[in-house]
Amino acid sequence: MKPKSFHTQLNTKNLQAQVHPLSLTPYSANLLVLVYPERLLIYHCGTLKAAAVGFIKLAPVFFFASTTLFIAPTYVESFMKSSWEAVPLIILGTVPMLIVSIMTSPFVASVHMRVPAAARINRAVLLRYCENLPQSTPLDFTTVRLIGLPKCTSTTLGQLRALRPRFGRLANIQLVNDDLLARRTLWAWLTTWMREPRNKLYVGGAEGMKRSRAPGVWKLVWEQIQKKPMIK
């Protein structure tokens, strides 16, 4: 491949400086050097924190499995003890798992945003684009499943609403999608616990924005979410 001539490089720099980034065609965008990837990491809580949340969620699962599969059957098979005594043990193993699962489900480990090529030229253009994002901007929220594995929830900016702070509430964002709820079948409602839906999310901490590929972008996204009517 031949190296770019000086005139080609000069024309590229002039295109970067003169052409409005959101008015670029796909062909002209290819002439520019894109600094950021299309799926941009705008928030990351940190590997250690995400691993700690995964361990906290996984520990009650092992406790539930041990009480249900090993301890409770001994009461059923024993002639000296009543089989009904196994029920409190199963409940004892189930309650911690449910509490931890509900309390930690909103925790978000990372957030990615889909950015068009025209807005990935440099940091200044990216921040200017993020100051007035389209409501159809795709966002991917990565949370932690009950068994410690990551779960990705894809949505758009228009479906996000800020949650009013309240005692006992960890989440600060809620996904609002009335059309999806209207189309849900009875089977979907019954199998909700298997899919672990994430309707409420928690994204917080300034350190998460510093670890992103573009610090400051999530702050602009959060400001636009807060402009919408807040959910109590």
Q: In the prediction, which pLDDT does 178 show?
A: 57
- 204 has pLDDT over 90: no
Share of the chain above pLDDT 90, in %: 36
Mean per-residue pLDDT over the chain, rounded: 79
pLDDT, tens digit (0-9, with 9 covering 90-100), for 64-115: 998 888 888 887 777 677 777 778 888 888 899 889 988 888 999 999 999 9
Whether 80 and 173 have beta carbons less than 8 Å apart is answered as no
Site of tokens 């998460």: 208
For 118-144, how does the pLDDT look when each residue is reduced to its tens digit (9 = 90+)?
Answer: 899 999 999 999 999 999 999 999 999
Burial of 158 (0-12, 13-18, 19+ CB in 10 A): middle
What are the E-state strand segments in the chain? 39-44, 108-114, 138-144, 150-156, 160-162, 173-175, 200-201
* Ranges of each domain in the chain: 7-47+105-226, 58-103
Report, as an integer, the average pLDDT of 17-27: 47
pLDDT at res. 155 = 93
pLDDT tens for 170-191 read 888 999 875 555 455 666 555 5
